[in-house]
Structure 1
Amino acid sequence: MSISEYSKLEFTDPRTGKFYSLSNSRHRATRATTTGPSATAAIIRTLHDTRHSIVYRASVNGREVILKCSVYSPLRDCSYTDLEREAETYRNALAKLQGKVVPRSYGFYRSSNDIEKPICCLVLEDCGDMVYCFYDLPADDQLKIMLHVKALHDKGLALRDFAERDVVCRNGDYRLIDFHDTDNHTCEWDGDLHVGKGTPVGLICRYMLDRGLDMHFWPPQLPPSVYIGDTRVPAKWYPSQTKINELLQDLDEDDIEYNFNFVQEHLLCYQEDVVAGRKPVTVKEFRRRVSQLPFKMKKGRVVLGDTNNTIYYATAY
């Protein structure tokens, strides 16, 4: 069946029972293969209902489509003009991306302005349901979405507010939607998405970078680290792991766990002396100092240890 923009679109609002007969906003359908006098949409269900717009899944001549509607109100006329702008975006900037990156548009329809509550409706190809969670998508699927984002940028547009609600999927095919709020954009992306690597440094396009971070597209790159007992800490503030093991040789895991802040402070001070070019205390002296634990294990219980367990700051070394 060929896809048409019709001169009229008719449907009944399932919320109010009101019947609408809307006219195509253009006198002729420049992207349609055929043009019929009218089409009746049977509403299947409501997908989205907010103060901004109402989105229905519907059937027109046996084909499922999406109706994105806005009812004019003086209190929120922006939703009406937003939908007009989105229809214009599909018609112009997104024309060559329809059916590949974005849904096909089957026309923009309006009621007459002399009715009490004018309504407009954008009819789109039904490309499936909203993505539930970017994080759960396989890497290959995330890559498809990132490439769609880049294709959009190549047409001079960027989605301003990007989230799962802006991506739909059917049978593994993804489409970007919701173009009422876009930025004009000249993309300076350098071409390398760093697939399977860490977050890129040279990816100049902030939109591409934000989209990748939003989706967890790049595996997290943890900074170098060392362990104090079982606790992982950033390596840059501490001695090497070999030196830590040597300095804490006399302490068992329980000692370190119950006195972690005390042990940590001594290690920080030790490394501060090293970085400052001061001679740190000897290993023997360090072990003596950290042996004065605030808490010790006794018969399976944690009890107070030495009360004179002064933490030796770097200046004390």
Structure 2
Amino acid sequence: MEEVVRSRRIDMIHAYEWRPCLQAAFSSGRRIPLLMNVMSTDVPRFLPTHLPIIVGTPELQQRMEAQGRRAHLLEPSVDMEHYRTTDIAAARAGFGIPQGALVISMVSMLTTAHGNVQSALEAIRVVDRMAFSWPVRLLVAGGGEGLEAVRQGAAAVNAHHGWTVVQPLGFQLDSSPVYEAADIVLGRGSSALKGLAHAKPLMVHGESGFWRLVDEETSEGFLHGGWYGRGGEGDRDLTRGLEALAGSLKRRTRLGAYGRHLVATRFDLERAAERLASIYVDTALGRCDLNTMVRSLVRSAAGSARYLTSTRLGSALYRDRSVPAVA
């Protein structure tokens, strides 16, 4: 990395997630300002403490500051011009959705980690039951090792009803039409914010059966701790939320407008760019002394060595529990 920095005349390094952060801290040298960025729900304690760090939630920022770190808050941002609803009919036509359908959209990395596939399969089970009362269509966009399980679940439900209830879409380079086609969005992390930007009512999913409707009361918890959660009643919570939304166009419209306003005032891309520019200035000016840096790197080297050794041995104590803030 030192050679790259020198040959390209780099003035600052902005490293994303803990492994690149460690690599940059130990190989970039002291002359180049370094900014760490970890957009996960858990930040490893073995990251160097002398370097500034960006995190994605107020809760994490407070936790980092309590550890004596110089922590900056930069929440996930949304391009409000791109992620907005302009032509629902065209979006639905693109997916072959008939008129009058109640469309539920889910955009997620279908990985087995962090409950993503489990949430998708819970959604499939719930819409299977809802299809007896509503002309429902569940769009599931995303790739990963869980995609085949989602396809199998969809095929079983569709065969049972004799029409398309669940429509797996696979990976979508541009997910905006999936959100635009929806009456209701299921999401977490940045996917949740994109759904809100499209003025759609949102149910946030997480691990171990977590589902929660976003409204004026619950949004404060998500704003503080991130668009995610752990623990809940799974199918029951999702069923209650979806049936309440399905039965009330007025409520869907109100919550959609609330969500769009929430994202516009707090997560707009332009605001994030201005905030990042100020963080870069702070990073360039806020250099620490040599002794502080050395102590920090020694501590980091020892901690990361213990972690890596323990993970290779399968220790639950040091197992990586980080959860991405993006969907």
Q: TM-score, normalised by structure 2?
A: 0.19
Q: Specify which structure has the bigger relative contact order, considering alpha-carbon pairs within 8 angstroms and separated by 6 or more residues.
A: 2
Q: Whose radius of gyration is greater, 1 or 2?
A: 1
| TM-score w.r.t. length of structure 1 | 0.20
Report which of the two has the higher share of helix: 2
Considering fraction of residues, name the structure with more strand: 1
